[in-house]
């Protein structure tokens, strides 16, 4: 992150969840649907408080479940409103049909998903499996590393979702527990600056709205070529979202003085032989370990994914091309594949990477801590690969038994 | 960077202790980051929290395995192996206990602070929630920050009479903690 001279701001020590709630408040939504689930509950608690004490002038719908939450914000969004909701894990999958419908209807919803393991094995623990389980829903996915980026991404998400050329719902993801409950200093922008940042949307053509009595359907039926047309338009909008997000990141910097590099953030990549690819809160720990390794002369860098859907393949190829070895760290599983999901997806572009070798690390699932020791192990293994040594394709870093059980 | 691990039980304000300290550090122009680790939120269940305090931005988002300082809000855990796990040489411990005799020991422990935080909290706020007393005692024992930013930080968590009473708690913690060099 590049921080220029501070403009108008105030540092507050708040959690990732509070940062999300404050960002939602600053975006002035018309409708918020609220339903609690660990580790997201604090967001809707704070929004409820803002609403109760008059700081937030929105319709707050306390729904009876997440499926209703998504349907409520989808309807409000299609009626032209700015909307917000937040969920996690079981809540996200309980609204799965509505998530698909909202994307198909091109409702520009902004939702926070606090990453947590999904149903399957019951666990109240961190992991990106919920994100991975909805990756093909047709939403744009953004991922935050720290509390500041949570706030910044929620604001940027409105510019992206509601942009006339995009009109695709955006989900902002961050790690449950490790980030949702992390308290740290956050530069909270003033309302007038946020209003200015979002005012660009008012200068654009008005998006199509559902109006009572109006003879217009939305997200109803598409058959044959009609279906193909809508799907192709959606896919094209996802592609456009990449350049649009880069532009939004730059405009954000002009107003707030913070830029993250757009789709991906490169950390000490310039002369790196070995690179870790990561996302979310693990990146902070990885940066700290990279600094220690660099001090010892190890040429290692980090490529952080800030956007995961659409998959920023061009930006990743540009950053990774010619590196000797790439270790992709996944905080989730890709059932049916040995390696993690992001590894598997990047693997599709292997021939464009100029001969870089790739390996997969699985870590941080079910709250297992991605420790500095684990990160050092991943860096050492990736450096071994860069040096031409034979290493495993897939390593479950916190579960050495996986390497002994065979099968991988 | 100082790495601090907090041990207590749900309801004692373990998480809030770590938050207030991160807040207080930010007020001195330094950087603080803290987070707890628990599954379901339950009163009485053991809770661990982690705090990192530094003059540089804190980037690590991982639990603390080698603390410089351990803070124990629940006296029943004072001799638990989990509390001392990984304590670095020259380590400090702050203990909330009604008994001010030295009844803990560890090879790496060099400084011990004992504060009867439950009693002070009972007197000042009428509840045995020791957290704000512990904040003040931490400032004194660690020497990492003054009591004033701690009192200022309390404004973000309390207001009115509760704020005033909790400021008294923090100041009494700072004044009344007993320090022992081991």
A204 and A271 inside one domain: no
Looking at A259, A291, A317, which one is the last position of a domain? A259
Q: What is the dihedral of CA A33, A161, A201, A216, to 10 degrees?
A: -80
Residues from chain A that touch B31, judged by Cβ atoms under 8 A, are 184-185
Instruction: Give residue B143's Cα distance to chain centre.
Output: 13
A191 and A73 inside one domain: yes
Instruction: Tell me if ipTM is over 0.85.
Output: yes
A344 and A235 inside one domain: no
Tens digits of pLDDT across chain A (408 residues):
555 544 556 899 999 999 999 999 999 999 999 999 999 999 999 999 999 999 999 999 999 999 999 999 999 999 999 999 999 999 999 999 999 999 999 999 999 999 999 988 888 899 999 999 999 999 999 999 999 999 999 999 999 999 999 999 999 999 999 999 999 999 999 999 999 999 999 999 999 999 989 888 776 677 778 889 999 999 999 999 999 999 999 999 999 999 999 999 999 999 999 999 999 999 999 999 999 999 999 999 999 999 999 999 999 999 999 999 999 999 999 999 999 999 999 999 999 999 999 999 999 999 999 999 999 999 999 999 999 999 999 999 999 998 887 655
Give backbone dihedrals phi and psi of A211, rounded to 5 degrees, phi first.
-120, 140
Which of A15, A181, A372 has its CB closest to that of B60? A372
Q: How far apart (Å, rounded) are the C-alpha atoms in residues B51 and B55?
A: 14
B35 part of contact set with chain A, CB < 8 Å: yes
Q: How far apart (Å, rounded) are the C-alpha atoms in residues A366 and A344?
A: 20
Tens digits of pLDDT across chain B (182 residues):
999 999 999 989 999 999 999 999 999 999 999 999 876 667 888 899 999 999 999 999 999 999 999 999 999 998 889 999 999 999 999 999 999 999 898 999 999 999 999 999 999 999 999 999 999 999 999 999 999 999 999 999 999 999 999 999 999 999 999 999 99
A249 and A321 inside one domain: no
Please give the pLDDT value at position A3: 55
Please give the pLDDT value at position A8: 56
A179 and A284 inside one domain: no
Looking at A203, A230, A259, which one is the last position of a domain? A259
Closest CA to A278 of A370, A355, A347: A370
Please give the pLDDT value at position B110: 97
3-state SS, residue B82: helix
> Residue A41 is part of a domain; what is its CATH number?
3.40.50.970
Give backbone dihedrals phi and psi of A35, rounded to 5 degrees, phi first.
-145, 135
Tallying the residues shown for chain A, one arrives at 408
A248 to each of A115, A143, A251, A254, A259, how far by Cα in Å? 24, 15, 5, 10, 10
Q: Which helix (H) or strand (E) holds A286?
A: helix A282-295
Would you say A150 and A86 are in contact if contact means Cβ atoms under 8 Å apart?
Answer: no
A195 and A75 inside one domain: yes
Half-sphere exposure of B42 (CA within 13 A, CB side): 7
Please give the pLDDT value at position A40: 96
A393 to each of A212, A361, A390, how far by Cα in Å? 57, 8, 9
Where in A300-346 does DSSP place strands (E)?
300-305, 307-309, 325-330
Please give the pLDDT value at position A220: 61
A220 and A325 inside one domain: no
The CA distance from B181 to the nearest CA of chain A, in Å, is: 31
A72 and A203 inside one domain: yes
A179 and A292 inside one domain: no
Half-sphere exposure of A242 (CA within 13 A, CB side): 15
Residues from chain A that touch B85, judged by Cβ atoms under 8 A, are none
Alpha-carbon Rg for chain B in angstroms = 15
A294 and A340 inside one domain: yes
Instruction: Give residue B6's Cα distance to chain centre.
Output: 6
> Residue A355 is part of a domain; what is its CATH number?
3.40.50.920
Which of A6, A9, A13, A89 has the most B C-beta neighbours within 10 Å, making it the best mutation to test the interface with B? Answer: A13
The CA distance from B12 to the nearest CA of chain A, in Å, is: 17
Looking at A240, A259, A278, which one is the last position of a domain? A259
Query: How big is the CA angle at A396 (ends A372 and A297), to the nearest 5 degrees?
Result: 40
Domain that holds residue A368: 264-405
Tell me how many domains chain A contains.
2
Please give the pLDDT value at position A405: 72
A167 and A233 inside one domain: yes
Please give the pLDDT value at position A9: 63
Count interface pairs A-B at CB distance under 8 A: 71
Strands of the sheet with B2-9, listed across from one edge: A9-15, A183-189, B31-37, B46-54, B2-9, B69-72, B91-96, B109-115, B178-181
pLDDT tens digits for A261-276?
Answer: 999 999 999 999 999 9
Report CB contact under 8 Å: A183, B22: yes
B42 part of contact set with chain A, CB < 8 Å: no
Please give the pLDDT value at position A223: 77
Q: How far apart (Å, rounded) are the C-alpha atoms in residues A353 and A321?
A: 4
A248 and A268 inside one domain: no
Q: Which residues on adjacent β-strands are paired with residue B9? A: B46
* CA distance from start to end of chain B: 23
A66 part of contact set with chain B, CB < 8 Å: no
The full set of domains in chain B, from first to last, is 2-181 (3.40.920.10)
Which of A6, A185, A268, A292 has the most B C-beta neighbours within 10 Å, making it the best mutation to test the interface with B? Answer: A185
Q: Which long-range contacts (CB under 8 A, 24 or more apart) does B93-97 make?
A: B93/B69, B94/B69, B94/B70, B94/B134, B94/B137, B94/B138, B94/B141, B94/B142, B94/B177, B96/B72, B96/B130, B96/B133, B96/B134
Minimal-distance CA residue of chain A relative to B30: A185
> Does the reported pTM lie above 0.90?
yes
Q: Which helix (H) or strand (E) holds A14?
A: strand A9-15
Please give the pLDDT value at position B61: 96
């Amino acid at each position: 992150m590049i921080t220029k001279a501070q403009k108008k701001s105030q540092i507050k020590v708040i959690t990732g969840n509070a940062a999300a709630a404050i960002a939602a408040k600053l975006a002035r939504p018309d409708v918020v649907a609220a339903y609690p689930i660990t580790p997201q509950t604090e967001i809707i608690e704070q929004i409820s408080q803002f609403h109760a004490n008059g700081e937030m002038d929105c319709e707050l719908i306390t729904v009876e479940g997440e499926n209703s939450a998504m349907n409520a914000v989808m309807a409000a969004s299609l009626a032209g409103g700015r909307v917000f909701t937040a969920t996690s894990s079981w809540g996200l999958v309980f609204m799965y049909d509505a998530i698909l419908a909202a994307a198909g209807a091109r409702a520009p919803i902004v939702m926070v998903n606090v990453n947590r393991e999904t149903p399957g094995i019951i666990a109240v623990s961190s992991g990106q499996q919920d994100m991975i389980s909805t990756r093909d829903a047709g939403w744009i996915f953004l991922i935050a590393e720290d509390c500041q980026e949570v706030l910044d991404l929620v604001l940027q998400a409105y510019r992206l979702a509601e942009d006339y050329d995009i009109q695709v719902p955006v989900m902002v993801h961050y790690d449950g527990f490790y980030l949702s409950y992390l308290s740290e200093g956050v530069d909270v922008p003033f309302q007038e600056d946020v209003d200015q940042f979002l005012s660009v949307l008012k200068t654009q053509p008005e998006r199509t709205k559902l109006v009572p009595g109006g003879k217009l359907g939305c997200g109803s039926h598409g058959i044959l070529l009609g279906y193909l047309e809508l799907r192709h338009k959606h896919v094209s909008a996802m592609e456009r979202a990449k350049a649009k997000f880069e532009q939004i990141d730059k405009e954000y910097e002009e107003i707030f003085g913070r830029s993250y590099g757009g789709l991906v953030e490169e950390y000490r990549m310039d002369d790196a032989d070995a690179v870790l690819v990561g996302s979310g809160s693990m990146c902070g720990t990885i940066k700290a370990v990279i600094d220690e390794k660099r001090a010892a002369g190890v040429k290692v860098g980090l490529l952080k994914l800030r956007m995961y859907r659409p998959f920023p393949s061009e930006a990743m190829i540009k950053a990774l091309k010619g590196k000797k070895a790439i270790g992709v760290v996944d905080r989730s599983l890709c059932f049916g594949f040995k390696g993690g999901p992001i590894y598997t997806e990047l693997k599709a572009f292997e021939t464009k990477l100029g001969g870089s070798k790739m390996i997969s690390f699985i870590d941080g699932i079910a709250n297992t801590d991605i420790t500095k020791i684990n990160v050092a192990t991943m860096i050492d293994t990736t450096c071994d690969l860069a040096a031409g040594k034979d290493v495993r394709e897939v390593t479950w870093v916190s579960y050495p038994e996986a390497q002994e059980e065979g099968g991988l | 960077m100082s790495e601090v691990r907090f041990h207590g039980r749900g309801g004692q304000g373990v998480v809030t202790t770590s938050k207030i300290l991160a807040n207080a550090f930010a007020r001195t122009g330094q950087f603080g980051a803290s987070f707890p680790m628990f599954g379901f939120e339950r009163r009485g269940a053991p809770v661990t929290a982690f705090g990192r305090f530094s003059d540089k931005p804190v980037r690590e988002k991982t639990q603390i395995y080698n603390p410089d300082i351990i803070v124990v809000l629940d006296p029943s855990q004072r001799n638990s192996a989990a509390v001392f796990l990984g304590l670095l040489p020259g380590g400090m411990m702050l203990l909330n206990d009604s008994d001010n005799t030295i009844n803990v020991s560890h090879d790496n422990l060099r400084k011990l602070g004992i504060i009867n935080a439950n009693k002070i909290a009972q007197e000042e706020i009428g509840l045995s929630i020791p957290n704000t007393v512990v904040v003040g005692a931490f400032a004194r024992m660690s020497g990492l920050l003054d009591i004033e930013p701690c009192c200022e930080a309390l404004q973000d968590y309390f207001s009115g009479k509760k704020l005033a009473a909790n400021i008294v708690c923090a100041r009494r913690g700072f004044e009344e903690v007993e320090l022992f060099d081991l």
